[in-house]
Structures are given as C-alpha cells and as structure tokens.
A and B are shown apart, each in its own frame.
Chain A
Amino acid sequence: MKITDFDCIIVGAGPSGLKAARILKDCGHKICLLEKEEVPGGKLNTWHELFPHNESAPAILNQMISDLESNIITSIKIRTITRVANNFSVTDQEENEYRAPALLIATGFKPFDARIKEEYGYGIYDNVITSVDLEQMFRSNSFSTITGKMPEKVAFIHCVGSRDIKVGSEFCSANCCITGIKQAIELKKIYPSLNITCLYMDLRLGGRLYEYCYKTAQIDYKVQFVRGRLSETNENPDKTIVLRYEDTLAGRPAKITVDLVVLLVGMQPDHSILGLLPDIDRQVGRDGFFGTGKIENSYKNAEDGLFFAGSCTSPKSVTQSTDEAADVAFRINSWLNKKLKTETTLLNDRVWIQHS
C-alpha cells in the first residue's frame, strides 16, 4: 500500500486515454494512466485494420504507446473513488492509492451482446458470428465456417443492437455501417470469389471517405446491398443459415441462404465504472453514455475536476475518440493551471509549467 500524488488520473488506456495522457504530459502535468486489462490499448487490441484507410490497428497502438513514453499501470481493479479535500482518491485491489485534483474517465464502450437479439441466432447457430469475432478471425488468419469449410456466401447484418427499442438501445452506433463495408472489402481482397450481401436499413456513412469506401465496395468488390432488416434466422441441417427479411425496395418478403452470417454489433456504454462515485453516476445521459454531449467552453468541466472523453461519451471511431481526448486534455490543462496556480511561461508556442 502506497500513496502517490498526480495532477490527473486517467481511467482507461484506450485510444482516448493514451492521447489525453500524452497531451497532458506534454503540457507538463504528472499523469497516472490506469488500465484494467493486462495490456493497454483497449479495443485496439481487438481490431485488425481500421476504417477508412485500412491502417493496421496493432501498428497504431504501438505508435500511441511509444509516443506516450510513460508508464501505464495495468491490471488495475478500481475499488473506490472518493473525494478527499480538493483531490480525487482512487484505490486499487492492492490498496494502492492514487490522488489527483483532476479525474478523466475514458472507459470506452463494450460491444453489444448479440445473444440478446435471440432471433438472429448468435450463440445458438454456429455459423452466426459478430463483427468482433470476424476481426479476431482476421487477426489469427482463421476465417472459415464452423465445419472448417470455406464460405461461398456471407451476409452482413447492419444495426444489430442499434436503433432497436426491443433491446433497449435506441441510438445509432454510427460506426457499424462503415465497419461492415470495411470488413466486406477485406474479405473480398482475400477471397475474391466470395459472394457478400449486406442487409441494411439505412447506410449511415457520415465520416470522411466513408462514402468512397461504399462506392469501392460496390464497384471494385461487387458487394451486394439489400435494403431490409433481418427478421429471423433459421439453420439448415448442413449448418447453412436461412435469412428472412423484406426487400423493402421491391416490397416483397425475401429469403437468402448463406454459409456465414456476420452481425454488425453496436456500441454500448460501459457502466463498470458506475457505483463508485455519485458524481460520475449523475453524468449518465438517457442513452447510457456519459456527459451532456453539448459544446462546452474551454474552461468548463462537468463536475469540478471530473472529465469524460472517448467512446464513453457517445459511439465514436478511433479518430473521433482521440480528437475528443485532445480537446478534453487541453480543457483539463486550462483547468489545472487555474487550480494549481502555477506559473506559466510561453516559450516557442509551447506551454511549460512550473509547479510552485
């Protein structure tokens, strides 16, 4: 058991935690980056390539970690978070105590548990997998059906666990459409003879170059896009899957038999941080994500020293997460500078802080 003092404690060493840590460190603050997993990186450890440029996720992660040049405290289970005087006090499973005036929550998201959407057959039929499982297959180079056969027909199902009142998440996860298109292209690159159909309600491709990916999938990779939401799946004796949906543009009920179904699961807020500090619990919005989502002025912070960044505040891509983390990091910097009454000197456009 030991007590250490910092300027800012960051919970979660995913893309946003790493980015915020680097900026705060560059600004001269003493940061403490806590991660519950054994390795830093959050969900970047799960993905293979990132949309829209198909950059390697492990390479980006390594870059972020080496940029930080600082110690990340991993395998931490936070026991308590309390406010002691003007500080947050965080204790872990080994009774170590971390203290800082600022606390940044960057706990990210968790993928939607597709088992809840029972009629889609995840966890029931072997050849129904999720987009997260497919990323694992890409990483381990083990793409196949459960019987080991190479699939000929694959269907991607959009909006699984998004925009669905029946599973209690009415928001759009914003990143599944482009993930599906990215994965379809990746598959076609490796297996050009594969037949891929995407079942969508709306394609929400709002990010930069996303529409270009969509066109590439249509023109270069001949991915078929069918407008209709999957209604139910059934398994044939040979383990192929029959999908029933309405082709809403034809206005007819339709079915398709495929070897493998990929469910593009949505992003759910990760609530494992809740129940520790009432100030955090109060910041949960009606969609389950943290914070208000409003444009904050640069000196404002939600709850006296408490900040949120990354995909814990809304579904975000890696780029959007790190952008928000950068913004919040500068806000924390301004707030700390006021709070710590430190002497700041502008030197060649960089801010150097000397603690008194």
Chain B
Amino acid sequence: MTEFGFSIHEDLMIDQDKRSPIWEAVLEKVPSVATCISCGSCSATCISSDQTGYGFRKLIVLLRNGKYKQLEKALEYCQFCGKCSLVCPRGINTRKAILEMKKYLKVHPHDTI
C-alpha cells in the first residue's frame, strides 16, 4: 500500500443506517429509556461527572449512536449510587439501564459487535 506520509482522520460521522444492538437490548429490558428528553439532570447530579465528564444522558447518546468503545469506558465510572434516577423527570430506571448495558458488553465486548 502506498504510504502518503499522512493519515486520514478518524471518521466522526454518526451512521444512523447502522443498527445499535445494545440500544435495542437495553430498550427491551428497560423500555423507559426511550423517554429520555436529554435534560441533563442526571449528569448534573452525578457524583463522578465532575471528574469524568460522563453522565447518564451521555451514555444514552453514545448507546443510540453505537459508540460502544467510548461507552464501555464511560460505564466503568458509574458507582451505582442512583442519584440520576432520583432526579430524572421522566422516571427512567437509570441504574437498571446501566446494569443492562454492562451485562450486554460483558457477553459481547465492543470489538465483537
């Protein structure tokens, strides 16, 4: 292969034509995640968001768009304190949803999906 002396930047385009199997799996187990309105209450109240920049809202965005590598990393920060579920105005069972994401990724690591 010809070496051009530069590399092409990682493709940042979100491909909505691709299915997101984890999203579908989580949606089946915790249907309330579909009602997320991205208000950000969860991330604002999250005990680790100050340091990590992640909150439940961001997990949903990553999940929907199939950014599994980032999602796997973000999930490690969750301490299951449940504050996000306390503030959620849509009453989403956030802890259950995170647990389901973790369970799915344990069986199917992100690079195998």
Contact = CB atoms under 8 A, between A and B. Distances in A.
Given A166-B89, A246-B57, A252-B53, A229 B46 contact: no
Contacts of A202: 37
A165 B87 CA distance: 10
Given A163-B89, A165-B91, A251-B53, 4 more contacts: A119-B87, A164-B89, A166-B87, A251-B58
Contacts of A254: 44
A165 B90 contact: yes
B39 A201 contact: yes
A165 B40 CA distance: 15
Contact of B40 (A119, A163, A246): A246
Interface of B: 37-46, 49-50, 53, 55, 57-58, 86-91
**A interface, over-half SS:** strand
Interface residues of A, number: 23
Contact of A246 (B44, B86, B88, B89): B44
A248 interface: yes
A194 B3 CA distance: 59
B40 A247 contact: yes
A228 B39 CA distance: 5
B110 to A, nearest CB: 21
A201 B37 contact: yes
Nearest to B45: A231
Given A165-B91, A248-B57, A253 B50 contact: yes
A229 B49 contact: no
Contacts of B37: 163, 201-202
B44 A228 contact: yes
B40 A228 contact: yes
A232 interface: yes
A227 B91 CA distance: 20
Interface in A196-220: 201-202
Interface in A240-254: 244-248, 251-254
A252 B58 CA distance: 10
Contacts of B45: 231-232, 244
Contacts of B91: 165-166
Contacts of B49: 246, 253
Nearest to A255: B44
A227 B88 CA distance: 16
Nearest to A251: B58
B94 to A, nearest CB: 13
Given A164-B89, A252-B53, A229 B44 contact: yes
A347 to B, nearest CB: 55
Contacts of B58: 251
Q: Which of B41, B45, B49 has the most CB of A within 10 A?
A: B41
A244 B44 contact: yes
8 pairs of A and B residues whose beta carbons are closest in the complex:
A246-B40, A231-B44, A229-B39, A165-B91, A246-B43, A248-B40, A246-B44, A164-B89
B46 A248 contact: no
Contacts of B90: 165
A156 to B, nearest CB: 16
Contacts of A231: 40-41, 44-45, 87
Contact of A165 (B50, B57, B89): B89
A246 B37 CA distance: 13
B44 to A, nearest CB: 4
